[in-house]
């Protein structure tokens, strides 16, 4: 079982952001930022950190909503959490979030034992964050996006996508419906750095451990593809 800890990361302006980190049992071969959904750093995100730590990477889950409410933990199974999660999502500042993730990547490069390479894996909101980092000159090495909610709202940045990017599309997703998936694929597929994997019949958040739409076959397939992608781009 990977060792875990909770810590504080110092950002460029001196502010502190909370984070959960999982460390592999063997010598790490790089690091991954696991960027959360709208539900905060909860049991699902800690489980994702465990998955990628078990595959060999230091995996850190930043508290993306720290400016609005540090330490929020919500669940899609609790109706009372939905309004709060949606409010946090629409109040979130993507530009500041990208800066925070860049600072997180810089921090991860200082952790002993790594090879200096950092990727991101993001879910829903976090998937769009990885996309934006690939488009905005970040020095991350690669990014994986699950669902990638509202990437289409930033599709104008696609010509600037300059890092390897893997996108998992659920084709029965009410938040990213098939017409939007097709649009995103059409606009991104000409870039040789982009690979897109489709999951017919899978709903939004099919990889959310314990979630109401979790589907093990699709989650396991996507995890395998993600691990293989990170091995190509993060390992020496």
Give catalytic residues, as residue numbers. Answer: 173, 204
Of 224, 225, 205, nearest in space to 215 by CA: 205
Q: Are the C-beta atoms of 151 and 128 separated by less than 8 Å?
A: yes
C-alpha–C-alpha distance, residues 212 and 115, integer Å: 37
Q: Tell how strand 31-35 and strand 118-123 pair up.
A: parallel
Whether the CB-CB separation of 88 and 125 falls below 8 Å is answered with no
Residues in the chain: 236
Distance, CA of 64 to CA of 129 (rounded, Å): 10
Cβ neighbourhood burial of 196 (10 Å; 0-12, 13-18, 19+): middle
What CA–CA distance (Å, rounded) separates 199 from 43? 24
CB neighbour class for 83 (10 Å; exposed up to 12, middle 13-18, buried from 19)? exposed
């Amino acid at each position: 079982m990977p060792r875990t800890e909770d810590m504080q990361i110092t950002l460029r302006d001196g502010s502190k952001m909370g984070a959960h980190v999982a460390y592999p049992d063997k010598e790490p071969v790089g690091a991954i930022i696991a960027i959360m959904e709208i539900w905060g750093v909860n049991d699902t995100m800690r489980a994702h950190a465990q998955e990628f730590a078990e595959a060999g990477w230091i995996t850190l889950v930043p508290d993306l909503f720290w400016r609005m409410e540090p330490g929020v933990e919500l669940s899609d199974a609790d109706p009372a959490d939905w309004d709060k999660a949606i409010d946090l999502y629409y109040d979130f500042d993507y530009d500041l979030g990208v800066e925070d993730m860049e600072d997180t990547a810089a921090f991860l490069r200082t952790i002993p034992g790594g090879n200096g390479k950092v990727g991101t894996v993001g879910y829903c909101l976090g998937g769009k964050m990885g996309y934006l980092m690939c488009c905005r000159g970040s020095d991350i090495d690669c990014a994986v996006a699950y669902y990638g909610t509202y990437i289409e709202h930033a599709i104008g940045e696609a010509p600037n996508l300059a890092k390897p990017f893997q996108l998992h599309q659920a084709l029965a997703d009410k938040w990213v419906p098939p017409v939007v998936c097709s649009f995103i694929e059409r606009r991104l597929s000409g870039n040789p750095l982009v690979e897109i994997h489709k999951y017919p019949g899978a709903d939004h958040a099919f990889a959310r451990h314990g979630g109401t739409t979790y589907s093990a076959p699709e989650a396991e397939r996507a995890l395998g593809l993600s691990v293989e992608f990170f091995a190509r781009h993060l390992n020496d």
